[in-house]
Structure 1
């Protein structure tokens, strides 16, 4: 892979950063080699840097993921995220048309592969006293690499991080299974750790070394893997799902949001929460250039406004007009037809207080997602302890709690939507539809990619195509990036735009 050269340089740079910034170690960044750094010195940077592929970034030297994040693409392709076309010309035009190429969001591939090298370095550190650190690296590698298979299909895996510039491509089913099995291996490492293993502490900027929470997170990621494959008819895969679901019954799952915070603050742009720095305000309090770019789509506004579900979270997601309504813009609309007032990201997503926004946690996985995964698992297979409806209700409640809304507001909302088709439990005949739609809302603007992938898998949430869409739909996968076409041409599979529009990953209902 052409990314091979970047791995050598980028991984070393990130490991240096872990010494001098995240952990405030006084060791010279110019002397240690990557392999000489203990996992305690690598973990914080490894966790923090790869997270930016979800949120986007604001650092000048990381422009590649600033406008090509998982959240942004998923939010656009799940019908949530539009643009203030009266003041921005041509923004998101390629996303809207669906006419993608090999350069389209290629930073997702490059970034995940590059930053996963840091997990490989931790996993392969030559010491048997860092089992907990190695287990964390294994869990996070499986978490992020799932998106690579979801979006690209067959990918390099067995030769991906052995400093081979032309790695072979492995079958996507094999990679998916291998990543899943790695989660089990990580759990076993944690359970087998003893007093000789180095404890995990503040260098874990996600769960602060709580290894039982890491097991719960690994189980939740396993459930995500299995549900992603739930529509596959292959008997072998269905048999594997049945076996693994049996083992997950009675397992622990996350009981709170899985967040990340290596010390985000407003002292400089490089230290801000990356999403806030990219779409919010500078450390001095000035709006960044993209503060007035993304707005609510007309599609999502029609769903959350008073005429449909009257969702009280709407003022957290977007800034309402004087009547309390969200004013959305149809995706693909031209400037002359855009309303004078449009709803930008709200205070629940972008706080106006720069100090608060800059230092807020990043969200790796929301508790609400875990609850909706459990609701879907219970609906499909049963045996997870509570009814699917209860997990569904808890998923919505977790979203309300995240925004500080009251139990009365929750009760009023749940009563109001109860019989609304597609959003209320009683009013929706296909319970999977209600689960997926409420999951879509709960993860909105935080991890839009999950909604896009859910749509590929189930057809929910239902999405209105942009006015300027020219391909009859959104692609079901991404094209292999330019770095692969240029650097690994002998191995990269040939995939055209028409292929991407017709066929997705192995689990997609094509």
Structure 2
């Protein structure tokens, strides 16, 4: 076999060009910019940007928070009539995958290379939280092949069962990675580097997901509760507070507050106002702001036509309260009250041993305390027959009170409303779904265009790509 002879001038030219490229790279380096990613910066930005998506217009204000009838639209009401904007659907998907899954995957890899398992654990917990939100919203989503674009340019969609089980495995592994005594982390605006609280957050997410799958796979759900108990039940306590991001002044303000700087087209929903009034609930004056022209908190019916909504008047109807709309209002990811509701339902369903009714009362009390309501007014509220725990219909008791407690957390409330089927909401007044309500978000159009084969497989497995197609966990 003859050897291939390469002319000398080609070798010389190639070597010269390679040398020039290296020289150019050296010349073009900015001595004032870091050449390696700093994990603390990546963590800060990852938490802030993804909580912004979770709490902001696309995933909440224009979709889920309207569907569970916390807020309503007094102007531009199409989203409130179940006509979501394509940009909202696309932004939720793109932001969570590009800013969330990618960034936290990179941070997990940095944790390995820096020999700091706590960075890896936090990255896995945040990435798991994002995947939970994504599958809650869409159903089947790319999971096992995501965040690996070099190998999987068009990732397959995994079934919701696979995604939830995968998240549970990853969260369990993250808890084991955490060291509470060494390998400190920086740049943590969520839990200030408190690794024990990160462990509690991870365990809270494990229990949340266990209830998501309980109607489909009771044994798997029970195993999660058993595992967390065997590990010492490291969960939030009354003294820990909640898992929340404390926003600052502009440009790091709450996305709801940022929205209110330029527009005023949201109001509190008549549905929740009526419920709060019927129960003499002191959270009414916290959840709703008093209108400028009246002394009465008036909510807006979901799904009105533009003319009907505008006739109600901007100054005569109630906006959401300042605890949600202020520049520095916090964004909640997981609360002590939610954890108690989880434990109450788990006790009722024999997933753990405990007093379901007692835990239910503690959950309501914790929700009140979250907003500074304590004392005799709480006792009076709990004493009402309409609030008393109904062991014969725990889904109604827990579903309605959890819905009230999660006010503002549109995404989590949307998932729990679908799972528990309470409160029994009426569809939007002029909704376009033939008397039905949304139970998921459709996939963004970019998936049909760029990942068509896997998109079609997901639709074949899950059902039509419609707002009305139930996801796997939504059994009843």
TM-score scaled by structure 2?
A: 0.83
1:453 to 408, 412, 415: 415
Q: 2:285 — aligned with what? A: 315
Q: Deviations over 1:296-342 (max 9, x none)?
A: 2222221112xx11111101111236886420121122334643411
8 Å Cα contact 2:154-2:451 kept in structure 1: yes
Say whether residues 1:149 and 2:151 are aligned partners.
Answer: no
Q: Deviations over 1:336-364 (max 9, x none)?
A: 464341111123323xxxxxx33343322
8 Å Cα contact 1:166-1:491 kept in structure 2: yes
Q: Which runs of 5+ in 1 are unaligned?
A: 1-26, 57-66, 280-287, 351-356
Q: Secondary structure at the match of 2:96?
A: helix
1:341-490 alignment runs, 5 A limit: 341-350=316-325, 357-384=326-353, 386-415=354-383, 418-420=384-386, 424-426=387-389, 429-445=392-408, 447-471=409-433, 472-490=435-453
2:58 to 68, 72, 78: 68
Q: 1:327 — aligned with what? A: 298
Q: Distance in 2 between matches of 1:397 and 1:457?
A: 23
- Cα separation, partners in 2 of 1:499 and 1:405, compared to 1, 3 Å: same
Q: CA deviation at 1:215?
A: 0.9
8 Å Cα contact 2:360-2:389 kept in structure 1: no
8 Å Cα contact 1:454-1:461 kept in structure 2: no
- Cα separation, partners in 2 of 1:498 and 1:489, compared to 1, 3 Å: closer
- Cα separation, partners in 2 of 1:219 and 1:165, compared to 1, 3 Å: same
8 Å Cα contact 2:53-2:96 kept in structure 1: yes
Q: CA deviation at 1:452?
A: 1.6
Q: Distance in 1 between matches of 2:77 and 2:32?
A: 41
1:110-259 alignment runs, 5 A limit: 110-115=94-99, 116-125=101-110, 126-127=112-113, 129-163=115-149, 164-191=152-179, 195=182, 198-201=183-186, 203-232=187-216, 237-249=217-229, 250-255=232-237, 256-259=241-244
Q: 1:273 — aligned with what? A: 254
Q: Secondary structure at the match of 1:491?
A: helix
Q: 1:23 — aligned with what? A: none
8 Å Cα contact 1:109-1:148 kept in structure 2: yes
Q: Secondary structure at the match of 1:505?
A: coil
Q: 1:105 — aligned with what? A: 89
Q: Kindly report the root-mean-square deviation, in angstroms, between the aligned alpha carbons of the 2 structures.
A: 2.6
Q: 1:300 — aligned with what? A: 272
Q: 2:19 — aligned with what? A: none
Q: 1:40 — aligned with what? A: 40
Q: Secondary structure at the match of 1:295?
A: strand
8 Å Cα contact 2:324-2:330 kept in structure 1: no
8 Å Cα contact 2:142-2:155 kept in structure 1: yes
- Higher radius of gyration, 1 or 2: 2
Q: Secondary structure at the match of 1:173?
A: helix
Q: Which runs of 5+ in 2 are unaligned?
A: 1-28
How many equivalent residue pairs?
Answer: 430
Runs of 4+ in 1 over 6 A off after TM superposition: 27-30
8 Å Cα contact 1:78-1:461 kept in structure 2: no
- Cα separation, partners in 2 of 1:105 and 1:30, compared to 1, 3 Å: farther
- Cα separation, partners in 2 of 1:30 and 1:294, compared to 1, 3 Å: farther
Q: 1:55 — aligned with what? A: 55
Q: Deviations over 1:141-193 (max 9, x none)?
A: 111111211222222222211124312222332222111100011011115x7
Q: Secondary structure at the match of 2:456?
A: coil
Q: CA deviation at 1:252?
A: 1.9
Q: Distance in 1 between matches of 2:271 and 2:94?
A: 32
8 Å Cα contact 1:52-1:69 kept in structure 2: no
Q: Secondary structure at the match of 1:82?
A: strand
Q: 2:23 — aligned with what? A: none
Q: Secondary structure at the match of 2:317?
A: coil
- Cα separation, partners in 2 of 1:502 and 1:464, compared to 1, 3 Å: closer
TM-score scaled by structure 1?
A: 0.78
